Amino acid sequence: MGVTVQGPRGLPISGNLLAFRKDPLQFLRNAVAEYGDVVHFRFGPKRHVYLLTNPDQIKEVLVTKQDHFKKGKGLQVARAVVGDGILTSEGQKHMRQRRLMQPAFHRERIASYGQVMVRQAVELMEEWKAGEVRDIHDDMMRVTLAIITETMFGKSIKEGADKIGHAIDVGLKYVANKASSFIDIPLSVPTKSNRQFVESNETLDKTIFSLIEERRNSQDGRQDDLLGMLLAARDEDDGQGMTDEQVRDEVMTIFVAGHETTANTMSWIFYLLATHPQVEAKLHEELATVLAGRLPTVEDLPKLPYTNLIISETLRLYPAAWTINREVVKEVTIGEYTYQPGDTLMMSQFVMHRLERYYEQPDEFVPERFAGDLLKRIPTYAYFPFGGGPRICIGNNFALMEAALLLATIAQRYRLRLAQPGQVVEPEPLVTLRPKNGLPMRLEKRE
Ligand code: HEM
């Protein structure tokens, strides 16, 4: 590299890894404040990581020069859970799978999922009792898992949902740990976390293979949901269908990518509403005017602008995908620097979304900031909760619709309050940004 990138000094072997792991979000923000647009870290003896905070450079990595990169280490490690599906595959294979799955996410297609989303929210609330304290994060994980299963795979898995949810959780924790560690203990070593991980994978495989088998054996030949599309797909060259393992990887990917991110977003929304009663009051007013107590539909969403502003602002402050990382595969120059194969470039939504140069009072929750032309005034990659370029989130419209329908359905009936008033809920940046230690809230029925 011609010019040297500056960064905080680290320890002899682990470099900056321990400081990063202790508090990743604050560590990154401090580094940007001190070193500017590009900061260098060393994670372990050999891994060089560069944090980019210039939106034009982020665009080069995600869009214009994207063929110089592959997914970062975290997602490479995630293959242990999701296999080689659309989220983790590269090149031709990724393009083929993306083309194949795209129709399940078209606007008209996802509009038909709206009813399921609302019904699942209503069913969740049937379990709720006024005055009780519940872990709302847990509830949001269950409702989003139920929604993704019913819409994508045509099956309700209510009975096994807790087991599946737990297995995914174990898998993601394992991945998060492994991704930020430089000591690689092979899976064959029976440590406690390895054993738990192998067990959780077996649970998931069993569930998914039985979903696949049931559909293959069923007579209905249904092709209008994602599972049907995957099973009906034929390769353009050799006419072969996907193997059960390939279908398993895609199903697993959608399970993982398609529920926890939205669940986290919902948790953060309820946390922010509980701590900002004036925003909540405006939301209630909008819901009363437009819906007058009835359940929302997809057609109502354009008439609920404030509901949508709350979602945009929540995704700014607590972006469920808090960083996108890429590994250099071919030498590439971005800005003044030339990066080498093996280098990691880190682009953190959490960091970008809280930069003062784009957002006034960046740590404050102000949904109204998105009402005007903010998104036209700031560079595209100063706000990118769903990523960008050819690997932009395939489920972005699905997620936005789901969040709006869940919020409009739940907020009409309940006001959620922190179980311990004044409690500060910390974000925990694992694979996704979730509320640390869950989100215990008291349910207040709205009359
Ligand atoms: C608020 C909720 C969500 C957020 C914040 C989010 C965020 C993201 C981001 C940032 C990426 C790009 C990752 C990268 O470039 O490395 C991504 C990819 C992806 N997301 Fe989402 N997502 C959300 C919901 C969903 C849902 C509901 C689904 C499925 C129904 C989904 C499926 C996917 C898939 C399959 C990919 C990989 C796309 C590819 O590589 O071609 N996501 N998501």
Residues forming beta bridges with residue 429, ordered by sequence position: 433
From 261, 402, 434, the mutation candidate for ligand 1 (largest count of ligand atoms within 8 A of CB) is 261
- 372 vs 304, 305, 316, 391, CA distance in Å? 16, 12, 16, 28
- Residue whose Cα lies nearest atom 20 of ligand 1: it is 393
Is residue 2 over pLDDT 70?
Answer: no
Domains and CATH numbers, the chain: 53-445 (1.10.630.10)
Q: Above 90 in pLDDT, residue 230?
A: no
Q: How confident is the model at residue 192 (pLDDT cuts 50, 70, 90)?
A: confident
306 close to ligand 1 (CB < 6 Angstrom): no
Q: Residue 207 and residue 194: Cα distance in Å, rounded?
A: 20
Query: What residue has token string 């194949």?
Result: 100
Is 136 labeled as ligand-binding?
no
The string of pLDDT tens digits covering residues 358-388 is: 999 999 999 999 999 999 999 999 999 999 9
Average pLDDT over residues 89-96: 90
Ligand 1 mean position to 5 CA, how many Å?
31
% of the chain surpassing 90 pLDDT = 66
More confident: 406 or 197: 406
Ligand 1 center to 321 CA (angstroms): 8
What is the pTM for the complete model shown?
0.94
pLDDT of residue 1: 47
Task: Tell me which residue has tokens 């390939």.
Answer: 246
Q: Higher-confidence residue: 381 or 259?
A: 381
Strands 433-435, 324-328: pairing is unpaired
pLDDT of residue 406: 98
Q: Which atom of ligand 1 is nearest to the CA of 265?
A: 1
Least confident of 90-104, 253-267, 306-320, 331-345: 90-104
Q: What is the pLDDT of residues 35-73, one digit of tens each?
A: 999 999 999 988 999 999 999 999 999 999 999 999 988
State if residue 406 touches ligand 1 by the CB under 6 angstroms criterion.
Answer: no
More confident residue, 242 or 344: 344
Q: How far apart are CA 418 and CA 272, in angstroms?
A: 10
Per-residue pLDDT at 175 exceeds 90:
no
* 385 Cα–ligand 1 center, Å: 9
The per-residue pLDDT for 158 is 63
Is the pLDDT at 393 greater than 50, yes or no? Answer: yes
- Taking residues 179-200, what's their average pLDDT? 79
Decide: 39 in ligand 1 pocket, CB within 6 A: no
pLDDT tens-place string over residues 119-157: 999 999 999 999 999 999 999 999 999 999 898 888 776
Ligand 1 in contact with 261 (CB < 6 A)?
yes
CA 319 to ligand 1: nearest atom: 5
Return the pLDDT at 107. Answer: 85
pLDDT at 80 over 70: yes
Protein residue whose Cα sits closest to atom 29 of ligand 1: 258
Percent of the chain residues topping a pLDDT of 70: 96
Ligand 1 lined by 251 (C-beta under 6 Å) = no
Q: How far is the CA of 152 from the centre of ligand 1 (A)?
A: 15
Please name which of 260, 93, 250, 103 lies closest in space to residue 168, comparing C-alpha atoms: 260
- Give residue 118's pLDDT: 97
Q: With cut-offs at 50, 70 and 90, classify the pLDDT of residue 166.
A: confident
How far does the centroid of ligand 1 lie from the alpha carbon of residue 102, in Å? 13
Residue keyed to tokens 């005007």: 372
- Compare 121 and 101 and report the one with higher pLDDT: 121
Amino acid 157: pLDDT: 67
pLDDT of residue 163: 79
